[in-house]
Structure 1
Amino acid sequence: MQIAQRMMPLQANVFADMDRAKAAARATGQSIVDLSLGSSDLSTPTHVLEAIATALSDPTTHGYCLFSGTQAFREAAARWYTDKFDVAVDPETEVLLLIGSQEGTAHLPLAVLNPGDFALLMDPGYPSHAGGVYLANGQIYPMPLIAEDGFLPRFADIPLAVLEQSRLMVLSYPHNPTTATASLDFWQEAVAFCQQHNLVLAHDFPYADLTFTGKPAISALQADPDKTCTIEFFTMSKSYNMGGFRVGYAIGNAAIITALRQIKANVDFNQYPGIQRGAIAALTGPQDTVHNMVATFRQRRDTAVAALNRIGWAVPKPDATMYLWAKLPNPWSERSKEFCLRLVEQTGVALAPGIGFGKAGEGYVRIALVHPPDVLEAAIDRIAEFLPGAP
């Protein structure tokens, strides 16, 4: 039996290594505090759960759901986007329901890349972005993100030879894992660059609401309201704590939406209509749960940053996301995977090694703020015992 060569780049997975390390630590009696995964511990809003529960007894929701069956959801998503970002959206041609945004970002390369084409990806970046390119037999050009540049890519550094063979650029702000945000000026520059080089601009946008500035993050479509080259992916997982329900959507250029829809038609049907009804309730119902979610993560951010500073680990306070992006102290500055493996083995605290997000992520760890403040403080006390020279 032979496995396809396209699977080879998917064999190595730092997060699978961390999963085994957590299991091994648990087997020795360690109590695990898992800060390695960005899976919110907050509850799905009650009115969302009620909409889903009511749908379960409706037999019209029990069959396959084709594109026409997603109309009510697409209309709700279009209205939500227009109200939030002042961008006109056609729900018939510019919106596509997804089984989580990761499904959409992973399938997009199949729709826009030919074998051997380049995709320009953030380094560090979300691992599934690379996985989708590999499955499409594309090539990856990593755009390094460094602190000195605010973790924004330098478009001028991309070689012309690569650009001539590139078809896709993937960006994501607020950014996982670095927590960086991007201004409207940056997005205007990105759109102009993609227009100049005939690139599809894909914006993975799960943290649209999870900002601590009092207003939502900038949408890429605010810089490309005519949707000349842009597609944006949103998930219900973060704003509405619906990660387990696997529902999201794409909004953008009609031709790109059509191509992605054609891929989906050959791979899957649409999400269960009851879950769609729950998502509609989330988008159209009271938004106080979103505000409460942001307040919860702001408090956790403040608590964790203060506790880390107290033990001598200086970590910047992010303006967005549910993470901290922490530069490792010596002697761990180039050994993020080893640091995380040893930390969970000796203390039970699990963090995500920066190298798992790309070469430029080495020297950092990502800390997910997915536990209450008292648990975060206790976990950081354990880290203090592990770090050499901690006060």
Structure 2
Amino acid sequence: MQLADRMAPLQTNVFADMDRAKANAMAAGQSIIDLSLGSSDLPTAPHVLDAIAAALYDSSTHGYALFHSTDPFRRAVATWYEQKFGLPVDPETEVLLLIGSQEGTAHLPLALLNPGDFALLTDPGYPSHAGGVHLASGQIYTMPLLADHGFLPQFQDISPQVLSQARMMVLSYPHNPTTAQASLEFWQEAVAFCDRNQLVLVHDFPYGDVTYSGQPAPSVLQADRQKRVSIEFFSMSKSYNMGGFRVGYAIGNAELITALRQVKANIDFNQYRGILQGAIAALTGPQDTVHQTVETFRQRRNTCIAALDRIGWAVPTPTATQYIWAQLPQPWTDNSIDFGVQLVEATGVAVAPGRGFGKAGEGYVRLALVHPVAVLEEAVHRIANFLQVHSPHRIRGKTPPVKGTVGR
């Protein structure tokens, strides 16, 4: 059977390779501590679950959910944005329900790109951003994110020839996987750059609340208050621990929202309206659970950073997201995939190889803080034992690693 050429770039996936390595480790009897996936282990708030449960017995929620039936959700989103960012939002023309934000970022290129058009993507970046461009038969121009520049793209490095063929730029801050943040001044620069070059500015914004400064990260719409060039994607997965419910939305330029709605209408209906009742409860109800989630990840971050430091692995303390972005020691600086595969097979600890997020991610691994602190300490203990065997010259711990008991 012959598949379409556009499928070729989708054939290989580092995370599928890691999934096989995890399966092999489990088959060999390892107990797995999975730090490779950003799926939160924290529960959805009770008032959200109550709203969903109540809807189950309302037969009016059992049918198809077309666009106009999502009006209450879209109004809740508009009010939430107005309160949070001081931005006026038209729920009818500037908000679109999505089955998770990944659906939107993957489908938007179908509305924007003709075959051969360029999309400007960050490297490293979230893999589905590239997948959507490939499916739209577009070309990818990667903007390297380097530590020397705070993991921010350097717009002046993009060639005029590429810009002449480019139609969209995708950014995401707070950033997965580097954990970097972007200031409002950066967003103003990005909006002006896209405006000058007739680019759509796409902001993937799932970690907007997961910051440790006490303030949410800036929305791109704060820099583009007229919504001239921008569209933003938000997910209920991180702030509200609703990953499995698959609720997200797009907000921004009305023409872009209409175009994405037209693509979506040819692919799917919306999710069950009872789930939307839960999402409305999350957005309009008490927000203390969001703060509790952030505090939980702050404690886990502090524990994990301190444990890594004790074994001699110095890692910058992230100011946002539920991840740690760690530069690998020798001899792994050029092969994060081998490190990830060998680590999970030897210890049961699974991390995400940086190479899976792009070429510029090579030499790093991402650790997701999706386990309690005791489990994270056990994971670092196992990593220390692995490094003592494979990188003994790197272990200079201030105190010997404490033998863990979790997962044994």
1:205 is aligned with what amino acid?
A: F
AA aligned to 1:157 is D
Q: TM-score, normalised by structure 2?
A: 0.95
Distance 1:292 1:114 in 2: 44
Instruction: Tell me if 1:125 matches 2:113.
Output: no
Structure-2 residue corresponding to 1:193: 193
Q: Partner of 1:377 in structure 2?
A: 377
The CA distance in 1 between the partners of 2:4 and 2:115, in whole Å, is: 14
- Letter of the structure 2 residue corresponding to residue 103 of structure 1: E
C-alpha displacement of 1:89: 0.4
Alignment partner, residue 204 of structure 1 = 204
Query: Match of 1:18?
Result: 18
Map Cα deviations across residues 88-136 of structure 1 (whole Å, 9 max, x no partner): 1000000000000000000000011111000000000000000000000
Is structure 2 residue 133 aligned with structure 1 residue 136? no
Paired amino acid for 2:350: A
Q: Please give the alpha-carbon distance, in whole angstroms, between the structure 1 residues aligned to 2:52 and 2:104.
A: 23
Aligned mates of 2:173, 2:271 — CA distance in 1:
26
1:172 alignment partner AA: S
Q: What residue number does 2:285 align with?
A: 285
Q: Secondary structure at the match of 2:97?
A: strand
Q: Which residue of 2 aligns with 1:303?
A: 303
Amino acid in the other structure paired with 1:180: A
Cα distance per residue 1:18-56 (max 9 Å; x no partner): 000000000010000000000000000000001001111
User: 1:176 & 1:318 partners in 2: Cα distance?
Assistant: 11
Cα-to-partner distance string for 1:117-175 (whole Å, 9 max, x where unaligned): 00000000000000000000000000000000000000000010000000000000000
1:46 is aligned to: 46
Query: Where has structure 1 moved over 6 Å in runs of 4 or more?
Result: none
Counterpart code for 1:242: M
Paired residue type of 1:47 = H
Q: Which amino acid aligns with 1:98?
A: L
Partner of 1:261: 261
2:400 maps to: none
Deviations 1:185-210 (A, max 9, x none): 10000000000000000000000100
In the other structure, the counterpart of 2:30 is: 30
Letter of the 1:232 counterpart: E
Aligned partner of residue 371 in structure 2, secondary structure? coil
Counterpart of 1:79 in structure 2 is 79
* % same residue: 73
- Give TM-score, length-normalised by structure 1: 1.00
Letter in 1 for 2:118: F
| TM-superposed deviation, 1:2 | 1.5
State the alpha-carbon separation in 1 of the partners of residues 379 and 228 from structure 2.
47
Amino acid aligned to 2:49: L
User: What's the counterpart of residue 316 of structure 1?
Assistant: 316
Q: CA deviation at 1:271?
A: 1.6
Q: Tell me the distance in 1 between the aligned counterparts of 2:133 and 2:158.
A: 18
Listed as ranges, the gaps of 5+ residues in structure 2 are 398-408
How far apart are residue 246 of structure 1 and its match? Answer: 0.3
What CA distance in whole angstroms lies between the structure 2 residues aligned with 1:280 and 1:87?
19
Distance 1:385 1:150 in 2: 32
In structure 2, what is the Cα distance between the partners aligned to 1:103 and 1:96?
12
Q: Which residue type is aligned with residue 349 of structure 2? A: V
Query: Counterpart of 2:134 in structure 1: which amino acid?
Result: Y
Per-residue Cα deviation, 1:341-378 (whole angstroms, up to 9, x for no partner): 00000000000000000000000000000000110001
Measure the CA separation in 2 of the matches of 1:85 and 1:118: 31
What does residue 164 of structure 2 align with?
164
**Mind listing any 5+ residue stretches in structure 1 that lack a counterpart?**
none
